[in-house]
Structure 1
Amino acid sequence: MKGILLDKAMDARDDDTLDVPPIETFEVVRRIARDHLKPRWPLLVVALATMAFVAATTGAMPFLMQRAIDDIFIARKEAMLYVLPVAVLLVMVARGLADYTSRVTEAYLGSRIIADLRTQLFEKLAFSDLGWLQSTHSGRFVSVFMTDVTVVNRAAAQTLSGIAKNFLQIVFLTGAMFYMDWLLALIVLAALPIGGSLLRLQRKRTRSSVRRTLQETGDLGSIVAQTLHGIRVVKAYHREAEETSRARAIIDRTLEYMMQTVRMRAATAPVAESLSGLGFAGAILYGGYQGIYGDLTLGHFSGFMTAAMLIYQPVKALAQLHNTLQEGVIAASRVYGIIDRDTKVAENPAAKPLVVREGAIRFDNVSFSYEEGRPVLADFTLDVPAGSRIALVGPSGAGKSTLINLMLRFFDPDSGRILVDDQDLRDATLSSVRLSNALLTQEPVLFDDTVRANICYGSEGATDEAILDAARAAGADEFIAALADGYETRVGESGNLLSGGQKQRIAFARAILRDAPIVLLDEPTSALDAEAEAKVQLALDTLLEGRTVLMIAHRLSTVKKADIIVVMDKGRIVETGTHAELIARDGLYAHLHRTQFRGDADGAAPEPKTPATPAASAG
């Protein structure tokens, strides 16, 4: 029975890998009302008005019941035999229409809330800092999109509308009960404060189990995404059973936390039943006594008990909705925690568009670290003349990719400046900074769309002729024409329906169409074989013509395209010069040439000496 009716012994989990702060119930309700309901207040008025009508007609039922018993069954008034059924029919038809309108309106408002939240989440992720996105597994974000937002929607749709509807019914029915017999009403409702106290005790545990359920759901999303992404390695190393075991452990923990929530919600019913039974028992005892020894009529008592029985359902529903509300509050904390997250790379309110006239770049005493106390760049200074090609060479972790990230303002320097034509990038609009650069990486990024859409990505206004010209310049037009649907062929997830060389040429065509004055290369040919590389070299030469180029080099063929080679180590410049000069200097570059560039025919170099002091720039 453990795990079904009783909690299993499990390790407590209190961490939240999304690193979002908790939000109180009032704040969640206030934000939903302000951000999602207030802009649609006419619909909200319709929903509340129809809820109030349903509640009012519910409150009328006890009086109709009383009149039926007293006037028809006891007083035997024939006229009422025809009047009351018609009245009941009209009331129920009107109640049904109002209930239909209320439900449809509530459903739209709830669906609109979930659409708004998903839009805000996506927008936030699209504009968020790259560092935070890279430090959090994508599966967790997908979990928030698909699970947490749905929980918020359920809480909003059920709780906000349900509380209003059930509360109004309780108000009308309580009013009817007190109007009929205030003392009898007090007896029936006396147990309600006890139920309220028990619900408050449940709240903390409900929140804990819901929070852990959502965390485990995020873990499951992460492992599914990770396994699918690395499925070839999983199969190659015969790890299917181990990955399944990991997933099963997460699924089992999720099940247990879900069952904790279910047990909390289910416990509400017997509590409500017991307290209602206590109230009914007291009402029967007092009402029966008054019926025997007092002047309480059967119709009066029947009408009162009808109200008492009708009030039971909304009271029970409110108790259940309390748990749903707590689930929504925890999910909302995660959703709003992402939406409210501060962006470190923010646009200056007075920012102006970056105007690139020549394309000269200067890194002026730039220091940067991804983690405090672990600098990646230290007082880095480098001048890149307009129209020049600078190759960045160095061991892994030297800071080469960080320079590319800073040029695109994925991050801002901790200190120092980055200037383009004497304009500080932090004083320019983010859009103009990124539109001034074309980025090509080792692994080309294609989207699950058509070839045409991938080429004009970021240049959506391009004409068909411009797209074809870019494809020809990239050497891609021939193989695109041979595809089943030509430029309308879908490339698949991450372009997996194309070869590596084909993907890279489409990426080149995209960059050529972008026609940016600055090109940033992270060795876009290093992952290609010799034949594929030969096919894209001409496209690369076309792309680089007349532009300022920063390129991370892993191959000698790329290095030799550079006007200046900048050798980096531990975030500093240790050597600069041409290939021949650096080989003759016999420093770090010469060592990299013998190791990283081996296989390129350029002759061997002697064993490395202590890296030479840079001649041009200081680090």
Structure 2
Amino acid sequence: MSAKSAPQFATSWSLARRLWQGYLSRYWPRLAMSLAFMAVYSGANAAIAFGVEWIFAGLSGENETDAPQLSRIALFGPVVIIGLGLVYAASLYCINRLNAGASLSALRDLQNDMFAKLTALDFAQTRKDASGQIISRFTNDITVLRETLNRVASGVRDVLTFLGLCAAMLWFDAILFLIVIVIYAGVGLFVGQIGKMLRSASRSAQEQAGDVTSLIGESVAGARMVKTFQIEPLERARASAAFDERLRLMKKMAYTRAMNEPIIFVAGSVAIALVIAVVAMRIGSGAIAFSEFTGFMTALMLLSSPARGLGTLHAVTQEGFAAFERVLSLIDQKPTIVSKPNATELVVSHGAIKFENVEFDYGDGKGALKGIDLEIPAGAMVAFVGASGAGKSTLLNLLPRLYDPSAGRISIDGTDIKDVSVRSLRKQMALVSQDTILFNMPAMENIAFGKPEAGRNDIVRAAIDASANDFIAALPHEYDTPLGEGGANLSGGQRQRIALARAFLKDAPILLLDEATSALDAESEAKVNDALRRLTKGRTTLVIAHRLSTVKDADMIVVLDEGKIVETGTHESLTEQGGIYAKQAALQFV
């Protein structure tokens, strides 16, 4: 998902086509109605110039000098101007309403696609980017894209208005019109260069916004550590440096963008000056009447607004395309761990697991697992022990295919896990990790992650098995009490027991326990171990633990060291061997 993988050299046209075909086109009825109102809007603008010309023709006596003509002007002139103003205002409201509905709906669809892809990507892929970069795509990049869509909609309106006013000026006097259009065409070339600079600057700004989001998230999540170690000055220095860089990039964009409207304004001033210089000769020669000149100048004055809008449109569009590129860098990623075509559904009949010459490398060339050969009998509890970095968690992660081995084969009941669908494979497993993940939802919904269709009684039963019912019942609204972001309203041990309850509720035939009791006090651990003994009966359980007291009763203990299996056996047999396990046991069972 790194921005470096984004299609940074995609053309504006290809990005616009992708945005239209993928998201905006499904709302074409609204956009078609908006386009119709834009035509009315642009027609009203052009009609104002003709209305002014008609009024001045009557007032100047170019057509008739009698009182009846003046009376008609006095009667119908205000009606014409007010009527056109009402048409202008009504059509503008309809345009803005229809465009907002279509663009916001398209952005909602885009966010849904982003989140769907985020959840579909492999575990390794989601870990490549800092969380701030991912969040920035959903927030900052979408905000930039929303502003772009709003401006593009206004840009279409400005184009139609511009063309309508150009047609009016051409009707009044072709020579004066050519003077104006040549000036604005020259300005358009310069504005295009500004847009290219802004696209590059905007891409850098969006990436840096993700860095700022990550930094703030780290500081909030690590507040306890920051205050305990009194490193507030260091954090402020990090933040200040990030904000200074943000300021530099935003200034660069703002200063570049600031050139647009002044240039358009100067172009308009030059156009008016040249028109005034030429018009005197045109009126003197009878090539244009004063009322026509008035109408022409009215159209020219009205032209400045859509011209300024079109001048800034290219710049804003390039900023939006830079954001859209980053969004596509997420949406266009392909998961590497997927089910084979026509993959079968895994049905666990016994739960025997076999690792055959399994190897795995994180890409650093060190080899996290090397030649793992291991048979786990059905219904057995197997514990993996060893120093940090020995490969215990990596081995566990291979079983639900969070990663795929670099070499070798893993099978369940003789079936290669690559031959079954990923969904059916993971359905047969329940995981409880030392990194407890809870959501800001009621306790009931947090536990129901293990089995969303479960009823209240089943959820309560799972909580009882995990020794979580007592403290949940003491919450203000019991099982309907939100647990706070990350389970902030609970203690560490309580959070761990909620996570255990999920596994109890899922009732899967294969259990993966990664330091599942690490955060429990002695009393809670005893209760949970009792429940675990009941739960693991008849199920295959893989346990990672540093505290050997939690696994000494395991059917098999596997000792890993530097990615290799160095010892296997029961607690008693390994203790008698006097190897790595015996040394750890001697330290822990003093």
**Alignment TM-score, normalising by the size of structure 1:** 0.90
- CA deviation profile, 1:19-52 (whole Å, cap 9, x unmatched): 4331331122111111121111111101111111
Farther-moved stretch of structure 1 (204-213 vs 358-367): 204-213
Distance apart, 1:389 and its partner CA: 1.0
- 5 Å matches for 1:348-387? 348-371=340-363, 373-387=365-379
Q: Find the counterpart in structure 1 of residue 196 from structure 2.
A: 204
Distance apart, 1:80 and its partner CA: 4.3
- CA deviation profile, 1:329-379 (whole Å, cap 9, x unmatched): 111111111111121112223223211111111122222211152321223
Distance apart, 1:496 and its partner CA: 2.5
CA RMSD for the aligned pairs? 1.9
1:490 partner SS: coil
The amino acid that maps onto 2:575 is I
Over the matched positions of the two proteins, sequence identity in percent amounts to 37
The reply to whether residue 27 of structure 1 matches residue 20 of structure 2 is: no
Distance apart, 1:297 and its partner CA: 1.0
Q: Find the counterpart in structure 2 of residue 612 from structure 1.
A: none
Distance apart, 1:16 and its partner CA: 6.6
558, 563, 569: which one aligns with 1:577: 569
What CA distance in whole angstroms lies between the structure 2 residues aligned with 1:59 and 1:350?
A: 63
Q: Find the counterpart in structure 2 of residue 55 from structure 1.
A: 42
Q: Find the counterpart in structure 2 of residue 10 from structure 1.
A: none
1:456 partner SS: helix
What CA distance in whole angstroms lies between the structure 2 residues aligned with 1:138 and 1:310?
A: 48
- 5 Å matches for 1:389-538? 389-538=381-530
The reply to whether residue 117 of structure 1 matches residue 110 of structure 2 is: yes
Q: Find the counterpart in structure 2 of residue 261 from structure 1.
A: 253
The amino acid that maps onto 2:293 is F
Q: Find the counterpart in structure 2 of residue 319 from structure 1.
A: 311
What CA distance in whole angstroms lies between the structure 2 residues aligned with 1:295 and 1:212?
A: 54
2:379 partner SS: coil
Q: Find the counterpart in structure 2 of residue 216 from structure 1.
A: 208
What CA distance in whole angstroms lies between the structure 2 residues aligned with 1:513 and 1:529?
A: 22
1:294 partner SS: coil
Q: Find the counterpart in structure 2 of residue 332 from structure 1.
A: 324
268, 279, 288: which one aligns with 1:287: 279
- CA deviation profile, 1:259-315 (whole Å, cap 9, x unmatched): 111111111122112222221111111111111233421101111111111112111
Q: Find the counterpart in structure 2 of residue 12 from structure 1.
A: none
Judge conservation of contact 2:359–2:406 (CA < 8 Å) in 1: yes
Judge conservation of contact 1:37–1:109 (CA < 8 Å) in 2: yes
Q: Find the counterpart in structure 2 of residue 599 from structure 1.
A: 588
Distance apart, 1:66 and its partner CA: 1.0
150, 153, 165: which one aligns with 1:173: 165
Distance apart, 1:588 and its partner CA: 2.5
Q: Find the counterpart in structure 2 of residue 305 from structure 1.
A: 297
**Alignment TM-score, normalising by the size of structure 2:** 0.95
What CA distance in whole angstroms lies between the structure 1 residues aligned with 2:297 and 2:322?
A: 39
What CA distance in whole angstroms lies between the structure 1 residues aligned with 2:362 and 2:250?
A: 37
- CA deviation profile, 1:502-561 (whole Å, cap 9, x unmatched): 222222221111010000011211233333322322122222121101111212222222
What CA distance in whole angstroms lies between the structure 2 residues aligned with 1:289 and 1:263?
A: 41
Judge conservation of contact 1:470–1:509 (CA < 8 Å) in 2: yes
Judge conservation of contact 2:500–2:516 (CA < 8 Å) in 1: no
What CA distance in whole angstroms lies between the structure 1 residues aligned with 2:531 and 2:405?
A: 33
**Any unmatched runs of 5+ in structure 1?**
1-14, 602-619
What CA distance in whole angstroms lies between the structure 2 residues aligned with 1:410 and 1:136?
A: 17
1:370 partner SS: coil
The amino acid that maps onto 1:181 is D
**Any unmatched runs of 5+ in structure 2?**
none
Judge conservation of contact 2:450–2:503 (CA < 8 Å) in 1: no
Judge conservation of contact 1:508–1:539 (CA < 8 Å) in 2: no
The reply to whether residue 557 of structure 1 matches residue 568 of structure 2 is: no
Distance apart, 1:17 and its partner CA: 6.0
The amino acid that maps onto 2:155 is I
What CA distance in whole angstroms lies between the structure 1 residues aligned with 2:2 and 2:193?
A: 23
- CA deviation profile, 1:477-504 (whole Å, cap 9, x unmatched): 2232222221112222222222233222
The amino acid that maps onto 2:269 is G
Q: Find the counterpart in structure 2 of residue 153 from structure 1.
A: 146
75, 78, 94: which one aligns with 1:85: 78
What CA distance in whole angstroms lies between the structure 2 residues aligned with 1:244 and 1:205?
A: 32
What CA distance in whole angstroms lies between the structure 2 residues aligned with 1:484 and 1:313?
A: 59
Judge conservation of contact 2:385–2:557 (CA < 8 Å) in 1: yes
The reply to whether residue 587 of structure 1 matches residue 579 of structure 2 is: yes
Distance 1:511 1:16, change over 3 A: closer
30, 36, 43: which one aligns with 1:43: 30
The reply to whether residue 344 of structure 1 matches residue 336 of structure 2 is: yes
Judge conservation of contact 1:265–1:323 (CA < 8 Å) in 2: yes
Distance apart, 1:61 and its partner CA: 1.6
The amino acid that maps onto 1:592 is Q
Distance apart, 1:459 and its partner CA: 1.1
Judge conservation of contact 1:72–1:81 (CA < 8 Å) in 2: no
Judge conservation of contact 2:417–2:425 (CA < 8 Å) in 1: yes
Q: Find the counterpart in structure 2 of residue 3 from structure 1.
A: none
What CA distance in whole angstroms lies between the structure 1 residues aligned with 2:178 and 2:287?
A: 19
What CA distance in whole angstroms lies between the structure 1 residues aligned with 2:209 and 2:4?
A: 12
The reply to whether residue 237 of structure 1 matches residue 229 of structure 2 is: yes
Judge conservation of contact 1:57–1:95 (CA < 8 Å) in 2: yes
Judge conservation of contact 2:496–2:519 (CA < 8 Å) in 1: no
